[in-house]
């Protein structure tokens, strides 16, 4: 029993340290293709180096919706953020139905997690994020 408690404590500590080991992603790291890691919809986001993005969102049983616009890399205080113009946060369609369909601005803080993946957090409390695909 005593050994099991020590092993459990060590596991919790190591896991906490690894989860805390993320760092902000750099501008040149965010270019690529991403997929949403949660939800029932097929949600992909392609970020091009020329400042353009294209997003394809397909809810189960529905047609694919394609959104596109420009993105910028902005410094807000000491924090660097990725900002999308003409963006509709369609992921809200799944957990709740309270989102506007009017395009606007969405600002996010891309990260490189402890596994080396580039992610764009969407709903931190739910663990939702766009994760850059390899290749």
Whether 117 shows a pLDDT value over 80: the answer reads: yes
Distance, CA of 123 to CA of 9 (rounded, Å): 28
CB 56 within 8 A of CB 70: no
pTM of the predicted structure, to 2 decimals: 0.79
User: Would the pLDDT of 6 be above 70?
Assistant: no
Question: Mean pLDDT score of the chain, rounded to an integer?
Answer: 84
Domain ranges of the chain: 2-132
Q: Among 21-25, 42-46, 56-60, 107-111, which stretch is predicted with the lowest mean pLDDT? A: 21-25
Q: How far apart are the first and last CA of the chain?
A: 46
Specify whether the CB–CB gap between 89 and 101 falls below 8 A.
no
Mean pLDDT of 27-43: 94
* 80-105 pLDDT tens trace: 999 999 999 887 655 555 556 788 99
Pick the CATH number of 2-132 from 2.40.10, 1.10.220, 1.10.287, 2.40.128: 2.40.128
Q: Is the pLDDT of residue 1 over 70?
A: no
């Amino acid at each position: 029993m005593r050994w099991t408690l020590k092993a459990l404590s060590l596991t919790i500590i190591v896991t906490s340290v690894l989860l805390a080991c993320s760092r902000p992603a750099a501008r040149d790291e965010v270019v690529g293709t991403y997929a949403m890691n949660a939800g029932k919809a097929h949600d992909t986001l392609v970020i091009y180096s020329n400042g353009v993005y294209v997003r394809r969102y397909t809810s189960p049983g529905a047609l694919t919706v394609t959104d596109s616009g420009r993105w910028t890399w902005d410094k807000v205080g000491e924090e660097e953020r990725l900002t999308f113009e003409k963006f509709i946060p369609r992921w809200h369609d799944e957990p709740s139905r309270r989102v506007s369909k009017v395009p606007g601005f969405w600002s996010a803080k891309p990260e490189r997690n402890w596994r080396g993946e580039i992610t764009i957090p969407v709903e931190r409390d739910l663990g939702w994020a766009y994760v850059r695909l390899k290749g």
